[in-house]
Chain A
Amino acid sequence: MNGNPPRCGAQTPDEPPGAFDWWVIAAILAAGGALAYIYSNGIPLINGLIALAKGSAVVLPSAMLAASAAGALAVLALVGYYLLQPDGCIVPKKQTQPVCGSGIVESTADLTSTAVAIFAPFARGPAFAFDVVVKTIYWFLVTQNAQWVICNPIGAAMLRCLIENKVSCAARIGAAIGAVAGAVAGIVLGFLAGAAIASLACGPFVLLCLLLALIVAAIVAAALTYAGAMVGGWIGAAIAEVANEDVVGDTAKSLTPGAIVTVRGDWTRDPDVGFNELFYTTAIGRNGMFPTPPSYTTADADTTPPDDCPIAPVIK
């Protein structure tokens, strides 16, 4: 074994520098502008639909229309947040580099969730993950620029390998389309529901009634927008399930602790904790099984057969 083994855990005393929440500030600005505009000017098409449903046009300024639009916009923002994640679906990944490494699989985890697939298909993350105790020559994959080093219970450094969910991108695009359709229906029905409550005789509680009417309008619109996102996500996922092959995912799911693997993928650093990872793994080569159960040492990994990675790993 060459060199000193990596120190496990935090490599720096501080938290990893997170990106500033510029998009939250942008969302605040956009929300304020949009709602103020809708309050004063209404929404083209929606005003016409409300006139059709109610038999009379929306009176401007309209708090009820703005409230239902607020509910719909909140869900649209949520769906948009997931759609625009920098994971290669719509927005390219940040600062990744293709690398190759090998070692022994220490542990695996199925990251899919039936609840998420049904109730939040636009929020589906990676499908699978496994940690590999890497050979000594691949320690740099774990340590270079890392702020955290993942180790197994006996202190061997590991590389986290993530497997992309093959239906995630299509589900997010489908959810976005469904959310827009749901938003149109939601704003109209939210307006009508809120207006019905506001027209009730509330006696001394007229302001509470008004607040309740606004909240109901927002909730109805949000619920219908969310329902549209769910349905759109299901349809997108179903199409991708049929259309996409998932060779890497199928191989990953067959891995068990002890599998000797060569992995290739896009090497980057986890933005939250700061460990290096493959996001995502693009190829898995299986080279047999290690004869003993986990946990594995780096020395164990070093005894595994030679891999077919480039002889001189490129360090950038």
Chain B
Amino acid sequence: MGTNIRLCRRLGALAGISIGFFLSLIPAQPPVSSMAMGVLVALLVTTLLALFLLLIRAYPGGSLFFLVLLISLLTGIVLGPLANTLATILLAVLLCGIIGYLLGWLVCLLLCRYDRGAKGRMVPHER
């Protein structure tokens, strides 16, 4: 995978913010339910961002969606129960956003290879 770490951090932050926000608004659930809801929310939001990124840049689609899936699963499972038990939106968004940012970073640190040469190539578009 030749995707950069900055993208992973931002995907993680977005997933974290979304999970923190939506799951703090619904009553407390068993952990499995909140994990499932967390994964669903993260998957939806990060997929929309990935589609936008594919529109504006020549990212490798397969790698990008694999990262989206991985980050959504990780953040959903870790942050879903956490967000669902936090009392306030502010705390949930802050905590989950920051933890999501760090989880995204971790995913790319472990899995991503940064291909500087590929980024240096010009990608012509059709007129």
Q: Which residues of A contact B (CB under 8 A)?
A: 9-10, 15, 18, 21, 24-25, 27-29, 31-33, 35-36, 39, 63, 66-67, 70, 78, 107, 109-113, 115-116, 119-120, 123, 125, 129, 131, 148, 150, 160, 207, 210-211, 214-215, 272-275
Contact = CB atoms under 8 A, between A and B. Distances in A.
A16 B33 CA distance: 42
Interface centre among A24, A66, A107, A275 (most CB of B within 10 A): A24
A112 B56 CA distance: 10
Interface string B86-107: 0011111110011001000000
A120 B52 contact: yes
A211 B37 contact: yes
Given A107-B122, A273-B116, A120 B10 contact: no
Contacts of A31: 17, 21, 93, 97
B27 A29 contact: no
A21 B10 contact: yes
A111 B124 contact: yes
Interface in B47-94: 52, 55-56, 88-94
Interface of B: 4, 6, 9-10, 13, 16-17, 20-22, 25-27, 29, 33, 37, 40-41, 44, 52, 55-56, 88-94, 97-98, 101, 114, 116-117, 119-120, 122-125, 127
A274 to B, nearest CB: 7
Q: Is the interface of B mostly helix, strand, loop or mixed?
A: helix
Contacts of A35: 21, 89-90, 93
Given A63-B25, A67-B25, A215-B41, A28 B116 contact: no
Closest 4 CB pairs of A and B: A32-B93, A28-B97, A109-B122, A36-B90
Nearest to B4: A272
Contact of B123 (A21, A109, A131, A210): A109
Contacts of A18: 6
Contacts of B97: 28, 31-32
Contact of A66 (B25, B119, B122, B125): B25
A212 to B, nearest CB: 10
B25 A116 contact: no
A28 B13 contact: yes
